[in-house]
Structures are given as structure tokens and as C-alpha cells.
Amino acid sequence: MSSGLDALRCYGDDSSDEEEDIDDAKVIKADTCKGNGATSNNIKSSSPLPSVPLEVLGMFKDKEEDATTHSNPTLHDGRVRSFQHVRGNWATFAFIQVEPTEVLQHIMDELITMLLPSVGDLKPVDDLHISISRTVTLQFHWIEPFAQSLKDALIVPAFSYEFEDVEFYSNDEKTRSFIGLRVSRHASDQFKCAVQCVDKCLQDFSLPIYYKNPSFHVSFAWCLGDYQQLLDSTSLQQIKDYFKKFIQDTPLVARASEVQCKIGNKMFSFGLR
């Protein structure tokens, strides 16, 4: 009876999130059984080990299905991940939240309405923000040190900024396009100061810094595909002209008072000084 219990104990620990632990558990099982005084020959000649409980198999099945879910475009409005989902890696990026005021929401809704005839499947962005870092990955044990490093590095005072133009962007893979409002060139210098602080922190953790010549903007709608193949130059110019006329009468002013950093499902906020 004791040998059967010892063999059952040899199966892996369910506290780990890594699928590779299945193989590790097999090694541990063999070593542990030998440590109880049995030889490899004895193990082969003895009765078969008990089968793995269904509950244990179910745990690893759930993890495999979860990894597939993360990478399945049909479950994310057709969006494709820019990098492969890896367990233990936490997607991380820093940004400045944009408050959707009544005026800002109005102009965004108007621009979306103008685009719908050309881009029928245009979806609004729920979380309005201006990125000040790339999306990088952190290991779990780096989360707290990274957050503390970012807090210490951010010595930028709070500032106001304006949106001066409407721009169109696409991701590197050309699988998604975005419509956004670009920050004024004057305010870009203040955003660059925030980026420099974040970049310093990223470099300390050997992570890639932000783009060399960033276009600071808030994306408020997106669609699948490359916008250059969806919109002709006339439509683009009409949208730009409409926006320019709108801000002449109603400037779109916002304020940056804190930097936020999302690490996986954790959110950190750092007030600007």
C-alpha cells in the first residue's frame, strides 16, 4: 500500500502554471521512488503504477485550453496577438489615461459616423489612453521592483495638452488599423519627458524602450485590416478638414496628472509631481 501512495505523490504539484511541469513531475517521480530504496529494475518488475487521477489530467487540460483561448482570434473580434502568449510572462505598458469629456466624445462619435460608409466594421476603443511605452513582458518576480523603479523615475510635473489633428495608424503586422487624435507638437515635448523617465526604467530591466520618433495620440476606434486599403485619399482629407474646422471653434484640451502602468491584470498609478 505504501508504494502505491508514494507513487501517487510523485505526480506534479498543481501550484505551477507552466505546462513543462508535467515532464518535471515524471523526473521527480522516478527519483523519489529510487530514494525509497527501490532500483530501476525493481520498478519495472513491480505492478503498474496507478493511473493519473482524472482531476490531475483535467488541470493540465484547462491550462492548454486557456493558452489556446489567448491566441484564438475568433474570440477577440478577429484580433491577432502581436507576440505569442507565454505563461509566466506579464504584458506590460505605461500610458496616460484620457478622460472622455462631453466635447471629446462628441467629436469622436462624429468622426466614426463619417468613416462608417467606408469602414463598416469600425469598433470604438473602450479605454482611451496615450501610450508612453511599448508593450513589453515581465516575469512575475519583476512586477513589484519594476513598479517601484517606475515610481522613482517619474519626476515629470503634471501638464495640460491639446489635440491638433486626426491621424490613422496601423500595427506593424498591418492586421489592424486605428483612428486617433494626435497631441499638439508643443505638448509632445512634455510627453517625451515622461517617455524618457519610463525608458530609463525599461533599460534598467533590459527591456526595449519606446519608439525613436513617437506620434503621441489617443486611439478611439479600430478595424481589421490596413486603412490605406480601406480609405481613399479624398476621404482621409475630408475627415482631417472636418476636424481642423471643429477645433478652431472648440479646442480639445486635456490634462495629464498621473501615469498608469498595466502589468497583466494589475494596475499601478503614479501621480505626476
Going by DSSP bridges, is the β-strand pair 217-224/176-183 parallel, antiparallel, or unpaired? antiparallel
pTM for the model stands at 0.70
Distances (CA, A) of 34 to 26, 27, 30: 13, 11, 6
Structure confidence at residue 51 as a pLDDT band (50, 70, 90): low
H or E stretch covering 263: strand 258-263
Distances (CA, A) of 114 to 119, 141, 166, 238, 243: 9, 47, 13, 9, 11
Distance CA 165, CA 180 (A): 9
CA 1 vs. chain centroid, Å, equals 50
197-249: pLDDT as tens digits? 999 999 999 999 999 999 999 999 998 988 777 777 778 889 999 999 999 99
81-110: pLDDT as tens digits? 555 657 779 999 999 999 999 999 999 999
Q: Which residues are catalytic?
A: 129, 217
Mean pLDDT, the chain, integer: 77
Predicted local distance difference test score (pLDDT) of residue 83: 53
